[in-house]
């Protein structure tokens, strides 16, 4: 996940795997640092964003798993559908930690342009139904100024005269979300896969980062004696997957007890940044960076940004955004938030912008992934991410039964019974690297899937964690994905 920086504008237009535990700790630290940076900024333009000509698209919601204690209105799962409705084959993509369905949209549009007969369905998990996207929608539709956007979500904290404004959902009113772990995620995904299969074509399931752990959990889940992979033609791992070594039952018990405590929040907290602020910072920040790139950054001069991400010269919104998240200038603690966004700050000017020369991931594409520009009531982040889902990834263990699964209600036990004609594509980048490939190869070996069915690509030294989804027009992940889908669909 990336937490961009909602930065200030001037008068005028404001157009607006399961990974190894050490890597997961890096992800949390990255999010915490970036979130603190986002808190410091705001946009002051008074002109509404440019209005798009077409009515914004949105998420299609369907009935999900009936989770005990959950109000019926939240027992749903959504998808953003990209591609022709006449296409029979579907690539279903599961986002990672605190990422929303819009994250995959630019990639999805590219895929369907090059892979005839395929749609891409990006999953929007149920917790996103809790988000108040009202003012963000107004901003993206040109009906609110960036000042109004900032005041609604953040400005009211210091200015009590701001009304109406965003309201935090008290943890006590959503205690039922403490049950939204791997079982709920997999069962919801089962509804999505079932809907995709009704089209009569092939279904491939892919996931980025923690989404890769969900992919393995689904594929190895025991659905009444049948592995989930029975309904799939392929698996795609994007710098994420399942750790083969599970947590112990004692560790799992401690996690459950900690979450069940009355005072415990249902949501993952990023280094003290409580939900939903990480998502609020991300959604508003990326929208500002995308649609008002040239205004001077207020965040830079606020005095609240960590020194490690404050440029030494005066910068614009896009300059601040790029400096903080580009591999060349972003601190090591932000490895999970980075992409190769270009050369760096422009060399001249009173306010320095961003020089995207040499970028793997164009910075405008990066911001589009997280803002959800062009889509209604959705962005590329997840404002409320269930702590239980993070905890449960520790018991997946490449689909091998283990004591922690009984504690965490994880039924991923059929890792040795996957269809032998299943195809698997694993791509390693900076965060998962060779470990992503090794986990995929082990999963195949357990079920005697032929080596010829595997596509294993490691770009750990050249691709940041978010480059596989964002790189354009040259993208090694994409260049192997399209032929992979062609093989699956033939």
For residue 28, pLDDT over 70 is answered with no
How does pLDDT run across 447-476, given as a tens digit for each residue?
999 999 999 999 999 999 999 999 999 999
| Predicted pLDDT at 56 | 52
The pLDDT of residue 20: 39
Q: Are 76 and 332 in contact (CB under 8 A)?
A: no
For the chain, give the percent of residues with pLDDT over 70: 87
The answer, yes or no, to whether residue 234 has pLDDT greater than 60, is: yes
Proportion of the chain above pLDDT 90, given as a percent: 70
Tokens encoding 461? 């030294």
- The helix (H) or strand (E) run that includes residue 110 is helix 105-114
Quote the tokens at residue 367: 């911001």
Residue pLDDT, tens place only, 310-353: 899 999 889 988 998 899 999 888 787 899 999 999 999 899 99
Q: Please give the structure tokens belonging to residue 76.
A: 């749903």
What span, in angstroms and rounded, lies between the C-alpha atoms of 302 and 300?
6
Cα distances (angstroms) measured from residue 132 to each of 60, 383, 398, 426: 17, 9, 36, 35
> Is the predicted pLDDT of residue 29 greater than 50, yes or no?
no
Residue ranges covered by each domain of the chain = 21-277+387-489
| Per-residue pLDDT band at 288 (split at 50, 70, 90) | confident
Q: What is the pLDDT of residue 305?
A: 64
Phi first, then psi, for residue 63 (nearest 5°) are -65, 135
pLDDT band at residue 53, thresholds of 50, 70 and 90? Answer: very low
Confidence label for 304 from pLDDT (cuts 50, 70 and 90): low
pLDDT band of residue 354 (cuts 50, 70, 90) is: very high
Asked if pLDDT for residue 11 goes beyond 90, the answer is: no
pLDDT confidence band for 63 (50 / 70 / 90): very high
Looking at the DSSP bridge assignments, the partners of residue 123 are: 79
pLDDT at 158: 78
What's the CATH fold of domain 21-277+387-489?
Rossmann fold (3.40.50)
Question: Would you state the pLDDT for residue 42?
Answer: 40
- The two tokens of residue 118 are 């395929």
Cα within 13 Å of Cα(426), Cβ side? 29
**Cβ neighbours of residue 231 under 8 Å, at least 6 residues apart?**
193, 194, 197, 203
- Is 455 in contact with 428 (CB distance < 8 Å)? no
């Amino acid at each position: 996940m990336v937490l961009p920086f909602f930065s200030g504008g001037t008068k005028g237009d404001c157009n607006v795997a399961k990974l190894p535990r050490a890597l997961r700790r890096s992800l949390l630290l990255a999010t915490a640092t970036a979130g603190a940076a986002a808190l410091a900024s705001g946009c002051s333009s008074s002109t509404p964003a440019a209005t798009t000509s077409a009515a914004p698209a949105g998420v299609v919601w369907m009935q999900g798993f009936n989770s005990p204690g959950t109000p019926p209105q939240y027992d749903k799962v959504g998808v953003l559908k990209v591609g022709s409705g006449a296409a029979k084959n579907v690539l279903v993509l599961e986002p990672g930690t605190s990422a929303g369905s819009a994250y995959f949209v630019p990639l999805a549009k590219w895929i369907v342009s090059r892979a005839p007969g395929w749609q891409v369905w990006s999953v929007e998990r149920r917790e996103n139904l809790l988000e108040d996207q009202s003012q963000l929608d107004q901003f993206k539709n040109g009906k609110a100024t960036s000042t109004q956007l900032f005041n609604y979500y953040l400005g009211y904290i210091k200015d009590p005269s701001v009304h109406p404004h965003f309201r935090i959902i008290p943890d006590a009113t959503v205690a039922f979300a403490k049950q939204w772990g791997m079982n709920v995620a997999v069962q919801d995904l089962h509804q999505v896969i079932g809907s995709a299969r009704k089209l009569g074509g092939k279904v491939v399931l892919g996931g980025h980062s923690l989404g890769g752990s969900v992919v393995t959990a689904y594929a190895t889940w025991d659905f009444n004696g049948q592995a989930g992979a029975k309904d799939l033609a392929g698996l795609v791992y994007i710098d994420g997957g399942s750790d083969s070594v599970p947590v112990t039952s004692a560790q799992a018990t401690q996690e459950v007890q900690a979450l069940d405590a009355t005072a415990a929040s249902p949501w993952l907290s990023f280094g003290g940044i409580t939900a939903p602020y990480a998502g609020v910072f991300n959604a508003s920040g990326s929208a500002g960076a995308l649609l008002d790139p040239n205004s001077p950054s207020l965040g830079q001069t606020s005095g609240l940004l960590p020194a490690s991400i404050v440029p030494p010269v005066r910068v614009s919104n896009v300059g601040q955004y790029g400096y903080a998240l580009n591999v060349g200038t972003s601190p090591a603690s932000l490895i999970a938030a980075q992409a190769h966004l270009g050369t760096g700050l422009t060399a001249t000017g009173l306010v320095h912008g961003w020089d995207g020369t040499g970028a793997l991931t164009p910075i405008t594409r990066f911001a589009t992934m997280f803002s959800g520009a062009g889509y209604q009531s959705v962005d590329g982040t997840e404002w409320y991410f269930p702590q239980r889902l993070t905890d449960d990834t520790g018991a997946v263990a490449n689909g091998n039964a283990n004591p922690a699964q009984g504690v965490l209600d994880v039924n991923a036990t059929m890792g040795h019974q996957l269809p032998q004609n299943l195809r698997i594509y694993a791509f390693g980048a900076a965060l998962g690297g060779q470990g992503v490939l090794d986990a995929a190869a082990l999963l195949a070996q357990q079920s005697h899937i032929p080596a010829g069915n595997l596509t294993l690509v490691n770009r750990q030294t050249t691709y940041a964690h978010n480059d596989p989804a964002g790189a354009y027009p040259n993208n090694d992940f994409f260049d192997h994905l399209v032929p992979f889908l062609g093989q699956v669909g033939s």
